[in-house]
Amino acid sequence: MRSGSGRVTERKLGTVETLITADQVLAGPAGTRITDGAVLVDGAEIVAVGPRAELETRVSGTTKRRDFPGCTVLPGLIDCHVHLAFDASADPVTNVRELDDKALLAGMAERARQLLDNGVTTVRDLGDRGALAVRLRDAIEQGEHPGPRIVAATVPLTVPGGHCWFLGGEVSGEQEIRAMVRENAARGAEVIKVMVTGGGLTKGGAETWESQFGFDDIRVAVEEAHGLGLPVAAHAHGSAGIADSVAAGVDTIEHCTWMAENGFEVLEDVVTEIAAKGIAVCTGASPNWRKFAERFGEDRAAEIFGRVRWMSEQGVRLIAGTDAGVPNAVFDNFAGSLDFYRFLGFPGEQILDMATRDAAEALHLGTHTGRLAPGYRADVLVVGGDPVADLDAVRDVRLVLAGGRQHTPVTGC
C-alpha cells in the first residue's frame, strides 16, 4: 500500500476544528492507505489529511479530538440508486398511493436516517412523487433532519400507464418529454430519470425486458436535460433499451441486466461502447440479492451475476446502488448490497471505490465528495477494523460526518 498526506490549509475563523484519528485512513482510492492517520475537519469542509503525528503539530489548543483506535477512516459511502418514497414492504406502491404528503415525507425522513446510520452520506433518489425528495433534501441541508445529501430525480419519465406511472411522470411525444424535463428541473431535480424499459414493480405495464421509449424519445430527454446541465439515468433492463440508451448518450444505466423476450442477449459491441463513453452502470444490487438467486434459480442467477463481473473486466465502470425501497430492498443494510460484489470475487479496494470515488464521479460530484482531501465536503465514515481486508468492517459504524455534521448511529449496524 502507498502512503500519502494532504497539505494543511488555513483554518477558517468562527468554526471549531475536529481532528479524527485512527489506525488508518483510506483517503481514496481505497488502495491508498495512511497508517496511523488523521483527518482534520473545519465546519463542513475537510482541511487536512495525513499522518497523525504531522497533523497533531499543526492544530490549535481548541481543536476537538475524536480518537478511534483499531478503526479505519474512509470517505462517506454513496448509494447511487434509492427510492426514499418506497418503504421496502411487499407492496410499496399501494403505500405511496394511499399516504398523504405529510405521512410519506415523514417515512422518507426516517429512511434517510437509516441510510446515515449505515455510513451512507450521499444518495441518488431516482424517483419520487411530487418532488418530496427535494423537500427532504432541503430540510436535511438546513439541519432539520439527520440524513445524507440527496441528489434527487423527482418524477421519473415514463409512458402513459408505464413503469411507475403512479408517480406522475407520464409523457408521450417530444413536446411532453421536454416539458417534463423542464418541470423537473424547475422543481429542483439534479438528475433526470427515464424509464426506458418496463419493470416488475408496475402491474399491467410493459414487461421488464420490453422497451417503453425508443432511441428518438431518449435522445430528446438527453438533449433537454443536458441543455439544462442535468445528467440522465436510464432504467434499462432489456438489451434493446440498453442499446438505445447508450446511443442516445445517457450518463448512467440502471440495472443493465440484458434481458430479452426469450432470455438474455448481451450485445458485446454495446458493452464496448459503454466502456468507451464512460457511461457508469449501477446494477442496483439489493441487499436481498441472495433471495433473487433463490427465486430465479441458480443457473439463471449465475448467468446474470457473472455478466456483472464480465462487464467490469471489459472496462465498464460499476457504481454501488441498492434500489432501496422496492420490496425487501431495505435501507439499513448497505453492506449487504456490497456483499454481492464480494461474492463475485471483486477485491475490497474496488468495492469500496465503487461506493465512494467512482460513485461520486458518476454523479458529477467527484470534485466535492467521494475522497478525503483538503477542500472536499466533510463526508467522513469511521468503522471498526479494516474494510479493505474484511468488508464486514463496514457494518461496524462508529462515527459518521455528513457535510461536517457529526452523527452517531441510533443502533448498532
Asked if 37 and 109 sit in the same domain, the reply is no
Residue 7 resides in a domain = no
- Written as one letter, the residue type at 221 is A
Q: Which carries the bigger pLDDT value, residue 8 or residue 160?
A: 160
- Confirm if 25 and 74 have CB atoms less than 8 A apart: yes
Residue 272, classified by CB atoms within 10 Å of its CB into exposed (0-12), middle (13-18) or buried (19+), is: middle
> Residue 382 sits in a domain of what CATH number?
2.30.40.10
Judged by DSSP in three states, 409 sits in coil
Amino acid 89: pLDDT: 96
Residue 9 resides in a domain = no
Asked if 183 and 322 sit in the same domain, the reply is yes
Query: At a CB cut-off of 8 Å and minimum separation 6, what does 297 contact?
Result: none
Asked if 141 and 278 sit in the same domain, the reply is yes
Residue 10 resides in a domain = no
325, 341, 362: which is the final residue of a domain? Answer: 362
* Strand boundaries in 94-230, DSSP class E: 120-125, 149-152, 192-195
Distance in Å from the first CA to the final CA of the chain = 28
Asked if 343 and 377 sit in the same domain, the reply is no
Cell representation of residue 124? 441518488
Residue 245, pLDDT above cutoff 60: yes
Q: How far apart are CA 174 and CA 154, in angstroms?
A: 20
Asked if 169 and 269 sit in the same domain, the reply is yes
Amino acid 299: pLDDT: 72
pLDDT tens-digit readout, 177-186? 999 999 999 9
Amino acid 411: pLDDT: 54
Asked if 55 and 201 sit in the same domain, the reply is no
Query: At a CB cut-off of 8 Å and minimum separation 6, what does 185 contact?
Result: 192, 225, 228, 230
What percent of the chain has a predicted confidence (pLDDT) above 70?
94
Residue 2 resides in a domain = no
Amino acid 28: pLDDT: 83
Full domain range(s) for residue 47 = 17-76+370-407
Number of domains in the chain: 2
Q: How far from 159 is each of 80, 95, 131, 178, 382, CA to CA, in Å?
A: 24, 22, 19, 13, 44
Residue 235, pLDDT above cutoff 70: yes
Report, as an integer, the average pLDDT of 237-256: 98
Q: How far apart are CA 108 and CA 129, in angstroms?
A: 11
Amino acid 298: pLDDT: 67
Q: Which of 22-26, 31-35, 299-303, 405-409 has the lowest mean pLDDT?
A: 299-303
Asked if 115 and 70 sit in the same domain, the reply is no
Residue 29, pLDDT above cutoff 70: yes
pTM of the model: 0.94
Q: How confident is the model at residue 14 (pLDDT cuts 50, 70, 90)?
A: very low
Q: How confident is the model at residue 99 (pLDDT cuts 50, 70, 90)?
A: very high
* Calculated CA dihedral for residues 194, 346, 357, 69, nearest 10 degrees: 140
Residue 274 resides in a domain = yes
Report, as an integer, the average pLDDT of 312-327: 97
Report, as an integer, the average pLDDT of 70-80: 98
Amino acid 3: pLDDT: 34
Q: How far apart are CA 395 and CA 147, in angstroms?
A: 18
Residue 413 resides in a domain = no
Look at the block and give the residue holding cell 418541470: 183
Asked if 142 and 238 sit in the same domain, the reply is yes
Residue 44 resides in a domain = yes
Asked if 84 and 65 sit in the same domain, the reply is no
| Secondary structure element (H or E) that encloses residue 247, with its range | helix 239-248
Query: At a CB cut-off of 8 Å and minimum separation 6, what does 313 contact?
Result: none
> Residue 203 sits in a domain of what CATH number?
3.20.20.140
Residue 393, pLDDT above cutoff 60: yes
Amino acid 165: pLDDT: 97
Asked if 262 and 207 sit in the same domain, the reply is yes
pLDDT tens-digit readout, 150-209? 999 999 999 999 999 999 999 999 999 999 999 999 999 999 999 999 999 998 889 999
Asked if 293 and 387 sit in the same domain, the reply is no
Asked if 138 and 84 sit in the same domain, the reply is yes
Residue 412 resides in a domain = no
